[in-house]
Structure formats: C-alpha cells, structure tokens
Amino acid sequence: MSSVYLDRLRHGLHLLEGQISTQTAELKSCLDKKERLTEEEEAGLDNYANTLNEHRVLDILSKPSDISTFIEQFAPELKIALEHLEDSAQSDASAGNSKGMSVVVANCGQKCASRA
C-alpha cells in the first residue's frame, strides 16, 4: 500500500472530521435555541456525520499490500466511504467545496435566523 495514498486519505479524513465538527456545532446551536432541524439537516447528522466507515476503510487499507484487490471486494458502503475520503482530500477545505454534510447545512446560521 502506497504510504502517499494512505496519507492523502488520512488527510481527507482529518478535513472531513473538521468540517463535520464545525457543521455539527452549528446545528447544535440551532437545537439549543429550540429551533427545529429540517429533515435534510437531521439526515446529515445521522449519515454524513458518522465517519465509522471512513475509519474502517483506512484500517483495512493500512494492512494489505494489494490495494486494488481489497477495494474491489469492499462492500458498497465502504466504497462510498472511500469516495468521501478521496473527495475530502481533493477539495479545498477552506472553500468548503467537499461533498456531503457541508452541502446539507450550508448557511445554517441564516436558516436558524430565518426560523426565529
């Protein structure tokens, strides 16, 4: 397994978890104000905020020597998790261009204000 590729995926996970942390805090702020979340926002917390599969992907890929064989054998949810890691690693974190939860909770502050 190429350590450069794994390092890139680990960096992607770090960026993804940072974005999720920020976005989860924004949604928690909405909840603390007794504001209701949309179904999309709730789904984002339930799905995108869970990085268990991304951690599993890194754990699995850290062990074998033949990455392509293992990726081909991944269950569908692990292939999606791998895509999340790759997307996050390639995106510009400061511009918030990564896919996933950031799309769901973009402008949460404005949404919260509009609900008041």
pLDDT digits (tens, 9 = 90+) for 71-89: 888 889 989 999 988 888 8
**95: its two tokens:** 């511009």
Closest CA to 49 of 109, 102, 12: 102
**Residue 97 reports pLDDT greater than 80:** no
Sequence-distant (6+) residues with CB within 8 A of 72 are: none
**pLDDT for res 43:** 82
Q: In the predicted model, what is the mean pLDDT of the chain?
A: 77
% the chain with pLDDT above 90: 16
Kindly report the length of the chain. Answer: 116
Looking at the structure of the chain, the number of domains it has is: 1
pLDDT band at 5 (very low <50, low <70, confident <90, very high): confident
**pLDDT for res 113:** 44
Residue 45's domain comprises: 3-115
**Residue 102 reports pLDDT greater than 60:** no
pTM over 0.75: no
| Between residues 49 and 25, the one the model is more confident about | 25
